[in-house]
Structure 1
Amino acid sequence: MTMHAAATSYQPTQVWESERMLYDLLRAPEKYELFFERYASALIMRLGYGKEIESGEEPYARDILKVVHTVERVASPGAYLVDTFPMLMHLPAWLAPFKQEAARLHNFEINLFRELLLEVREKMRNGKALKCFSRTFLERQSEFGLSDDEGAYVIGTLFEAGAGTTAAAMMSFVLSMCHYPEWLKKMQKEVDRVVGDERLPNFGDIPQLPTVRAIAKETLRWRPVTAGGVPHELIKDDVYEGFFFPAGTNIHANQWAIHRDPELYPDPETFNPDRWLFPGYPTYREPLDRFPNLQNFSAFGFGRRICPGMNIAENSLHLLIARMAWATEISKKPGVEVPLYDYTAGFNVQPKPFVFDLKARSAARKKIVDIAWLQNKDTDPLGLAMGSGA
């Protein structure tokens, strides 16, 4: 199954989780971080382990998000002195606090990933395991040639990669709408024209919503989640602008700088989705029922290390942004400043908590959101999403 086809098979779960997110967000918008993180975490938990996250506050949900944020912290270049002075790696563990911390973090991480995988194995013995990545791995483990712990890490790192990044992108989307409200109005006009006012947007509408897709892409350009990029190791000697780099050199593609190249992105500091929608901009491509999209966008990395969940993330961002545009009004709260850039530090970044107003566009639309969730909350999107394989 191709990445695109696999991502399509997960759409029922994304629809289900987006209905839950909208329902709760309209009731408690101040908990937006929890609801964005729960959406992303629950989606990956279902796909990876066939396991549901109900509140987002379950111990295993908080533990795995703790792992996510730990990776974001420790993977940040320069987080430890040993990053600058590699010779410190030769110190014995009792003289190297970073080695002691690494051992503690590894034990916490592998115990969590192992427990989640073995829970699926136990369910398989009882005939109760739902279709998920873990079940597929365990059924084909001899073919893959991986140990339990290796498999646990493969699946666990999918969660690490997917849970925090989608949530962070959605937080930046809300921030952009606070500062550039004219784009929310343009998007709402487009969504209303295509969808009408009697139902929520669905995946079938996305090709007719280029403004939604442009806003998703511009959000990732304007505020890239992995701002410093993922390190790549040169497989051969290279020369760049007169500088020689031997094979084995670690190179960080500075995503922040790439997304601010004025030749490719004129006026790069401005949030401007028009750069994806109108001829005359270097980034314009057509037809607009296909472009803009997030395929092969540098925000997801490069080459062999491009994000394997890119298609799932693209579907999530398009659906969530379209549905929020249809259902909600987002704005600054009168008298309260929303910082233009006040982000966390680390490998992945997201806006620090900020205050804004979010409400339903109308009582009728809120009722439609309520009905959609209350009618579907007891259904089984997991079975629907994974029936064609994971």
Structure 2
Amino acid sequence: MLPSLLLIVSALIFWRSSLYLRRRRASKGLPLPPGPKGLPIIGNILDFPKEYAWKRFVEWGSRYGDLICVNMLGQTVIIINSSRIARDLLEKRGSIYSSRPPIPHMDLMGITSWSVGFKAYSHIYKAERKVAEQSLRPRATTAYFPMQTSRTHQFLRNLVKDPEAYVRHIRHFSTAIIMSVAYGYELGESDVSDRYVDLAEEVIKRGLVGLRPTSPVNIMPILKHLPARWPGMGWKTFAEETASVSHKMVNDPFNFVKTSIKNGTARPSLSRDGLMSCRNEPTKEEETQIKNVAATLYSAAVDSYVALFSSLFLALVLHPEMQQKAQDEIDSVIGQERLPSYEDRPRLPFCEAFSKEMLRWRPVATLGIPHATTEDDVYEGYFIPKGSHVFANSWAILHNPEHYPDPETFRPERFLTASGEFKNDPELASAFGFGRRVCVGRHFADTTIWILVVSVLATLTVGRAKDEDGNDIPVEDVFTGDSGLVNCPLPFQCSMSPRGQRARELIKMTDAH
């Protein structure tokens, strides 16, 4: 075992060194972008932050500029801290910057075979992306308004019944709405436990392990060729087990849709509509494309929604004055005799600004999945090698004090004109990524966020929870800071109750619809 491992490590070092030298030759003497100086061979592995990397990258930016380069064991990693550079590279040069780096552990788990978000830029990716865009383009998302509204009302009922379990209700809402869009599958009123959901949650949890930069096979891809029975190879057994669960997660709910179509009971969904839009009997390739997109939608959206809507309640607790301003607007425009609807959206500029500030204040995907360059490139005198991993730091962009003064403060007025009208801000698009890899579900997310935010504001008062002595329980603005894809608030307690008897009645009345 030891001699073989030493041989593998030696081969890896030789390979990485050869790669580094090749890149140096290809640079034609141009420098790489600036960054912290690393050690021989291992580069900046010891410098790379394990927690809150996006904040460390902002600190590096103050020293090295908005385009930063680090060396991870010979692998070039590029970090972008400004929207200008992100647009220049990821959008204007999308033909070079739109692929994904290989993640060996995820490959072994079988996840990259179906997850559209992790696939390299290719004809397969483009075909699957087209399927997703067909169902989630702005005009198509209007068909989901009734479902989004119904699920939001269900969420309000659950909050009134058991306000302390608000995080569980957020997860149920997020799961139910995505399962409906992806598969037309109706989740129960409040019980998240479900065979399809359990499969998906297990795959997501396991997939986060495969994403870790510290995974042995992600550091040394050559390890994937070693037998799983060898000592220290538990990660490979874990990956093989995950591949089995992943296969069921992708196929089981999709087969449910196919059976429902045959029985005439299929509800509208991305899967049903995709299958039924095929000219003839769907080919195996067409089925695979639709199946992969549906599974990706669930795996990518649920945790993001949980994080975002948890941030909503955190903002309401920490900034009651903003909650009151939004409620005053709702009362003046809609009154208290009905619940908000999508038709009210143009008349609620402060609520619109409130939902946009949620995205900016605590962005969910601070770094996202890295892009990968498919060719050598030169930008503003700096050499960027083929195969570089490129991170766009949305936290840095959305907390740029030159564009957003006092960026840590939750202030919806940023998105209002002097006369109180809503103003669009192109910088906010960075919350959903850049270029050909921008989040395909952003339009659906936008309408989901709006109806939930305005419905909660219209009916509930959210505040600080009290202890046994009647004192406020402290709430900290602390988020998960690991290397996962989603930045979520750590658990906190809060109180919530209907804004009055009429609000309670309106929430109760939704159960009859």
Give the TM-score band, short-chain normalised. 0.7 to 0.9
Aligned pairs for 1:59-98 within 5 A: 59-75=195-211, 77-95=212-230, 96-98=233-235
User: 2-side partners of 1:222 and 1:211: how far apart?
Assistant: 16
State the structure with more CA Rg: 2
Shift of 1:110: 1.5
Would you say 1:101 and 2:235 are equivalent positions? no
Structure 2: unaligned runs, 5 residues or longer: 1-133, 467-471
2:434 is equivalent to residue 302 of structure 1: yes
Task: Tell me, in whole angstroms, the C-alpha distance in 1 between the residues paired with 2:151 and 2:171.
Answer: 11
> Is structure 2 residue 315 aligned with structure 1 residue 182?
no
Q: In the alignment, residue 445 of structure 2 is paired with which amino acid?
A: A
Of 335, 359, 369, the residue aligned with 2:507 is 369
1:242 CA drift (Å): 5.4
2:285 aligned counterpart, secondary structure: coil
Structure-1 residue corresponding to 2:414 = 275
Contact 1:217–1:292 at 8 Å: present in 2 too? Answer: no
Deviations 1:184-226 (Å, cap 9, x if unpaired)? 0111111111111101111111111122122222112121111
1:203 counterpart residue number: 342
Using the alignment, how far apart are the partners of 1:132 and 1:324 within structure 2?
26
How far apart, CA to CA, are the structure 1 residues paired with 2:244 and 2:366? 28
Per the TM alignment, residue 94 of structure 1 is displaced from its structure 2 partner at its CA by 4.0
Give 1:208-219 correspondences, 5 Å limit: 208-219=347-358
Q: Which deviations, in whole Å up to 9, do the C-alpha atoms of 1:55-89 show, x marking residues without a partner? A: 222232233233334434533x5252333444444
Letter aligned with residue 215 of structure 2: Y
1:360 is the counterpart of 2:503:
no
Summarize deviations over 1:161-187 as a string: whole Å, max 9, x none. 222212210100111111111110111
1:9 pairs with one of 107, 120, 143: 143
Partners of 2:145 and 2:341 lie apart in 1 by 10
> Partner letter of residue 81 of structure 1?
P
1:90 to partner: Cα distance: 4.7
Q: SS of the residue aligned with 2:374? A: coil
Query: Any conservation in 1 of the 2:398–2:428 contact (CA below 8 Å)?
Result: no
TM-score, normalization by structure 1: 0.86
Q: CA RMSD in A?
A: 2.5
Task: Give me the whole-angstrom Cα distance separating, in 1, the residues matched to 2:283 and 2:343.
Answer: 36
1:330–1:357 Cα contact (<8 Å) kept: yes
1:237-269 CA-to-partner distances (Å, cap 9, x unmatched) read 234565422122121112222222222222112
Aligned equivalents of 2:420, 2:325: Cα separation in 1: 19
Aligned to 2:457: 325
CA 150–82 in structure 1, closer or farther in 2 if over 3 Å, else same:
same
Whether 1:44 aligns to 2:182 is: no
Corresponding residue for residue 118 of structure 1: 255
Deviation at 1:45, TM superposition (A): 1.0
Q: What amino acid sits opposite 2:436 in the alignment? A: R
C-alpha distance in 1, partners of 2:173/2:196? 15
Separation of aligned partners in 2, 1:241 and 1:268: 28
**Counterpart Cα distance in 2 of 1:240 and 1:73:** 34
Greater CA drift, 303-312 or 100-109: 100-109
The secondary structure found in structure 2 opposite 1:329 is strand
The 1-side partners of 2:381 and 2:314 are apart by 40
Instruction: Tell me the distance in 2 between the aligned counterparts of 1:136 and 1:248.
Output: 37
For 1:246, the equivalent position in structure 2 comes to 385
User: Which residue is equivalent to 1:168?
Assistant: 307
Query: SS state of the match for residue 244, structure 1?
Result: strand
Distance 1:287 1:340, change over 3 A: closer
1:259 aligns with 2:398: yes
Q: Which amino acid aligns with 1:22?
A: L
2:427 aligned with 1:288: no
2:111 is matched with none
Amino acid at match of 2:503: R
1:387 aligns to what?
none
* Change in CA separation of 1:361 and 1:107 when aligned onto 2, cut-off 3 Å: same
SS of residue matched to 1:358 = strand
- Structure ranking higher on relative contact order (CA contacts 8 Å, 6+ apart): 1
Q: Could you tell me which of 119, 144, 159 is aligned with 1:25? A: 159
How high is the TM-score relative to the length of structure 2?
0.66
Q: Could you give the per-residue CA deviations for residues 118-167 of structure 1, whole angstroms, max 9, x where no partner exists?
A: 12222222222223222233332866762655543221111112222122
**Residue 133 (structure 1) aligned with residue 267 (structure 2):** no
User: Aligned equivalents of 1:329 and 1:242: distance in 2?
Assistant: 54
Query: Measured at CA, do residues 293 and 369 of structure 1 come closer, stay the same or move farther in structure 2, by a change above 3 Å?
Result: farther
1:306 CA displacement? 1.0
Does 1:191 pair with 2:330? yes
The residue matched to 2:404 in structure 1 has which SS?
Answer: coil
- What is the distance in 2 between the residues matched to 1:130 and 1:342? 37
CA contact (8 A) 1:44 1:159 kept: yes
Secondary structure of the residue aligned to 2:461 is: strand
Q: Distance in 1 between matches of 2:425 and 2:444?
A: 13
SS of match in other structure, 2:486: coil
Separation in structure 1 between the aligned mates of residue 501 and residue 481 of structure 2, nearest angstrom: 36
Q: 1:91 to 1:147 in 2, by over 3 A?
A: farther
Match of 1:57 in 2: 193
1:176 and 1:79 map into 2 onto residues whose CA distance is 33
Are the aligned partners of 1:110 and 1:152 in contact in 2 as well (CA < 8 Å)?
no
Paired with 1:314 and 1:112, the residues of 2 have a C-alpha distance of 27
